Structure formats: structure tokens, C-alpha cells
Chain A
Amino acid sequence: AQSVTQPDIHITVSEGASLELRCNYSYGATPYLFWYVQSPGQGLQLLLKYFSGDTLVQGIKGFEAEFKRSQSSFNLRKPSVHWSDAAEYFCAVGAAGSGTYKYIFGTGTRLKVLA
């Protein structure tokens, strides 16, 4: 069965420090991978996605993620965190059925940024 694991429930970093959020997936075929961000009281917004091609994917707000098939991982990174990055981050994998498509989400990582 498809699944997504985000092993870190909470992460705290200082403003200006680098960030890496971990995501591991379980999926039998080539995965379609997504990272979303949810600011307090808001819906989710797409940061970036990987479907194929270059395994290093650039997204919005200075985020990037690297797909590593051998490790079944899709970790999110940012070189220098801003206070406005404090939010909850979700990794997701897309699963194709018989003409239908659904998405399995991880449990999320809540990021706190210290001034």
C-alpha cells in the first residue's frame, strides 16, 4: 500500500539557518511527489512537485527538493529560513488507479522559526 512518512513532527530553526524536512514514501511505481505548505488558518499551497526528469526540483519561496529513488525519499530544503516560513509542511504522493487519481499525505512537520 502507498504511504508517506514524515518522521519529524516538529522542527525549530533559527532565522537564517538552513532547513531540511524529511519525507519517505512507499509506492510501487514511479512516484508523483509533492510538497505543500499550510500557514495558520489557511488551506494548503503547493511548494513544488516531482513527476520525472531532473531529480532536484525548484519551487516557490526559495524551496527545493531532491528525489532519491534508492532511498525512497523526497526531502525539502531551504538554504536560509525566514520567519515567514513558520508553517506546517506536508509531503504527498500521487497514486493512479483505473482512470482516477488520488493523493496520500504524510502527517506533516510543523516548523517554528526563532528570531
Chain B
Amino acid sequence: DVKVTQSSRYLVKRTGEKVFLECVQDMDHENMFWYRQDPGLGLRLIYFSYDVKMKEKGDIPEGYSVSREKKERFSLILESASTNQTSMYLCASTLTGMNEQFFGPGTRLTVL
């Protein structure tokens, strides 16, 4: 069965901390994505990756960076967390080309 896992379901961090969100997929998918989900705003794309070590900015990359050193793992990094980054973060992956996305359960991040 297809699986996308995220390292934490809930995370509480302090302003200014460096935060790592990890996502792992076991489907040998080429493409991986990070979204943030906020009420009334839907899902907004932060970054995506179409191959190992390859990344592309989404619609709201400011304040975030990503790392993809292995095909199955895609990390989202908040260099210096701020309160406006309090949100639900969703990771997704697709096989190749235009395709169905498989989503992880999400990480609800609170920055105090």
C-alpha cells in the first residue's frame, strides 16, 4: 500500500528556532511537494522537487528552504521560525508526469 509519512503530527517551536519537517515516501516517486494549509486559503505550494537534489520554488517559498538528498525523503526547513508560519504542513508525492498526488497526514506546527 502506498505510504507517505511525516515525522511529526504536532510540533511546537519558539520564534527564531530552526525547524525541520521530514517527509518520506515508499513508492519510488519522482516528485515530492510541500504545501501549507490555512483556513480559507486552501493548499498553497511552498516548494517541490522533481528529482534528487532538484528543487523548484512554489507560490510561497519565502522563509522556507528544502532538501532532497535521497529520492524517498524531502525535508522542509524553516530557517528562523516566525509566528506567521504557524500552520498545517502537508507533504505529497507523485510518480512521474501529471498524476495523482499521495498525501501524508500533515504536521500541525505552532510557533510561539
Which of B97, B100, B104 sits near A34, CB closer than 8 Å? B100
Nearest B-chain residue to A44, judged by Cβ: B103
- B58 located at the interface, meaning its Cβ lies under 8 Å from any Cβ of chain A in the complex: yes
Nearest B-chain residue to A4, judged by Cβ: B42
Given contacts A90-B43, A107-B40, is CB(A102)–CB(B105) below 8 Å?
A: no
- A100 located at the interface, meaning its Cβ lies under 8 Å from any Cβ of chain B in the complex: yes
A-B contact pairs, 24 of them (CB 8 A): A9-B40, A34-B101, A41-B105, A41-B106, A42-B105, A42-B106, A43-B90, A43-B103, A43-B105, A44-B90, A44-B92, A92-B43, A99-B50, A101-B31, A101-B98, A101-B99, A102-B48, A102-B56, A102-B58, A103-B45, A104-B45, A105-B35, A105-B44, A107-B41
Q: Which secondary structure dominates where chain A touches chain B?
A: strand
Given contacts A43-B4, A90-B43, is CB(A100)–CB(B90) below 8 Å?
A: no
In the complex, which residues of chain A have a beta carbon less than 8 angstroms from the beta carbon of B4? 43
- B75 located at the interface, meaning its Cβ lies under 8 Å from any Cβ of chain A in the complex: no
If A6-B42, A43-B105, A44-B92 are given as contacts, then 15 extra A-B residue pairs at C-beta distance below 8 Å, sorted by A number, are A36-B101, A36-B103, A41-B105, A42-B105, A43-B4, A43-B103, A43-B104, A51-B98, A90-B42, A92-B43, A104-B45, A105-B35, A105-B44, A107-B40, A107-B42
- The distance from the CB of A23 to the nearest CB of chain B, in whole angstroms, is 12
Which of A6, A46, A96, A107 sits near B98, CB closer than 8 Å? A96
Please report which residues of chain A, range 53-105, place their CB below 8 angstroms from some CB of chain B when the two chains form the complex: 90, 92, 94, 96, 99-105
In the complex, which residues of chain B have a beta carbon less than 8 angstroms from the beta carbon of A102? 33, 45, 48, 56, 58
B101 touches A103 (CB 8 A): yes
- B residues near A (Cβ < 8 Å) are 4, 31, 33, 35, 40-45, 48, 50, 56, 58, 90, 92, 94, 97-101, 103-106
B40 touches A106 (CB 8 A): no
CA distance A99 to B48 in the complex (A): 13
B101 touches A44 (CB 8 A): yes
- A32 located at the interface, meaning its Cβ lies under 8 Å from any Cβ of chain B in the complex: yes
B56 touches A100 (CB 8 A): yes
